[in-house]
Amino acid sequence: MTQPRPIPNALTIAGSDPCGGAGIQADLKAFSALGAYGTSVITALTAQNTRGVTGVHPVPAAFIATQLETLLDDVAIDAVKIGMVASRDVAAVIREALERRRPRWIVLDPVMVAKSGDALVDDAGIAAVRELLVPLADLITPNLPEAAVLLDRAAPQGRPEMAALAPALRQLGAGATLLKGGHLSGHECPDLLVTADATAWLEGSRVATTNLHGTGCTLSSAITARLALGDDLPTAVATAKAWLVAALAASARLDVGHGQGPVHHFHAWW
């Protein structure tokens, strides 16, 4: 009798969000909703809600290293998602730990600016992400403002600019790039996936909702979960995007805060 495949373990390395829509909390919800067991290493505490960020308290790099070593000494990780990284020291300890205990998949969501527009990472942190973590990643998932920051260019305003920017992002050293088009104007939200072998547009219609808090965190963690479950990269990205669209469409069922609310991670469950 064939034994069932063990449930895969996914790790999020990111900051926390007290209102539960972004960061560590969103990642763990996405992992769980999609069938992966979620583990976490916290890089920063934030004071935020659906209306904005009022404070960021970075966790010392040495303690992040201790979190990683303690977890990885015991738990086999199938896929990792890296989110908020606030300093070069933190980026360095993450890189060192993951180079030594290399999981099959590493997904980097270069979190730099909250949906409210609040800056989460300073210039030194941005440089550290670009130089130390992007080359480590199998996939990076920047939105248009984040891509502009990584390349020190203007943010794309349309598909031609996205197509022109994507190769430069791959040249930073990641295995693949998912350039997210949600910041474009209009009714469509196209994303552009560029791998070593192909370039593909993932089409999508804009969901009529203001519940956009944590969408980037949620998509990258959903991709990570699908990779941990055994999908190839294009399938993981397409499946995660479809799941996020459904989570956005169901978000009105939640009543969380008075600003940009979260998506409904468990729309298929409750």
Q: With 60 as the cut, is the pLDDT of residue 230 above it?
A: yes
Please tell me the distance from the alpha carbon of residue 240 to that of residue 264, in angstroms, as a whole number. 14
More confident of the two residues 153 and 93: 93
Which of 39-53, 118-132, 143-157 is most confident? 39-53
pLDDT of residue 132: 96
Please tell me the distance from the alpha carbon of residue 106 to that of residue 200, in angstroms, as a whole number. 20
Q: Which fold does the domain 9-253 belong to in CATH?
A: UDP-N-acetylmuramoyl-L-alanine:D-glutamate ligase (3.40.1190)
Summarised one tens digit per residue, pLDDT across range 69-87 is 999 999 999 999 999 998 9
Please tell me the distance from the alpha carbon of residue 110 to that of residue 247, in angstroms, as a whole number. 22
Summarised one tens digit per residue, pLDDT across range 1-31 is 566 779 999 999 999 999 999 999 999 999 9
Q: With 70 as the cut, is the pLDDT of residue 120 above it?
A: no
Which among 212, 168, 174, 46 has a CA at the least distance from the CA of 119? 46
Q: With 70 as the cut, is the pLDDT of residue 52 above it?
A: yes
Summarised one tens digit per residue, pLDDT across range 165-220 is 988 998 999 999 999 988 888 788 899 999 988 899 999 889 999 999 999 999 99
More confident of the two residues 25 and 127: 25
Query: What is this structure's pTM?
Result: 0.95
Please tell me the distance from the alpha carbon of residue 175 to that of residue 237, in angstroms, as a whole number. 14
Summarised one tens digit per residue, pLDDT across range 236-267 is 999 999 999 999 999 999 999 999 999 999 99
Q: With 90 as the cut, is the pLDDT of residue 104 above it?
A: yes
pLDDT of residue 119: 59
Tell me the average pLDDT across 94-119: 84
Tell me the average pLDDT across 62-66: 98
Which among 83, 79, 39, 85 has a CA at the least distance from the CA of 61? 85
CB 169 within 8 A of CB 143: no
Tell me the average pLDDT across 146-162: 88
